[in-house]
Amino acid sequence: MEFTSDDRHRAVHLKDKTEKVGVWVDGVPLPEDAWLDVSGYWVDDRFYVVQAAGPEDHPEQELAMGHLGCRVLAVVIHDVQQATTRMIVPDATETWTDPCVRLDGGTWRLYADGATAEAGRPARLFPAVPPSV
């Protein structure tokens, strides 16, 4: 269980018999069709971020050791204020092996791995809150 620093929000991860992990943030289930990581992290006490298995049809996808069992990963971001969840998936030209996100003002900076995060080279930039439709 992961709590925000002010203890107002919580994320719960539960693993079933098949080793699939279910995640609930303040009682809201994250995508049930995604293979999710066993832990995640809070950003600004508003967003819960967790890694997920990347697309099976990705050209760089292959089986790998570890709990998600694949090389290319995706990121799930849940916004507790909006009660919305987004799954950010790499396209065929992007290889995210340990993706992480950082919030810079109102913009997410998504990094493919720790090395690109350290170097300050984001793979993708996108708004923290999607524009209204």
133 Cβ contact list (under 8 Å, min separation 6): none
Reference 99, options 68, 62, 128; nearest CA is 68
Q: What is the mean pLDDT of residues 83-90?
A: 93
C-beta contacts of 27-35 below 8 A and 24+ residues apart: 28/78, 28/83, 28/85, 30/76, 30/78, 30/85, 31/76, 31/85, 31/87, 34/74, 34/76, 34/87, 35/68, 35/69, 35/70
Reference 13, options 49, 44, 54, 65; nearest CA is 49
Reported pTM: 0.88
Q: How confident is the model at residue 60 (pLDDT cuts 50, 70, 90)?
A: confident
- Look up residue 126 and give its two tokens: 């996108």
Instruction: Map out the domains of the chain as residue ranges.
Output: 2-97
Reference 51, options 26, 69, 27, 28; nearest CA is 69
What distance in Å separates the CA atoms of residue 11 and residue 13, rounded to the nearest whole number?
Answer: 7
pLDDT digits 0-9 by tens, 1-45? 899 999 999 999 988 887 778 899 999 999 877 878 888 999 999
Q: What is the mean pLDDT of residues 72-78?
A: 92
The per-residue pLDDT for 59 is: 73
The per-residue pLDDT for 18 is: 78
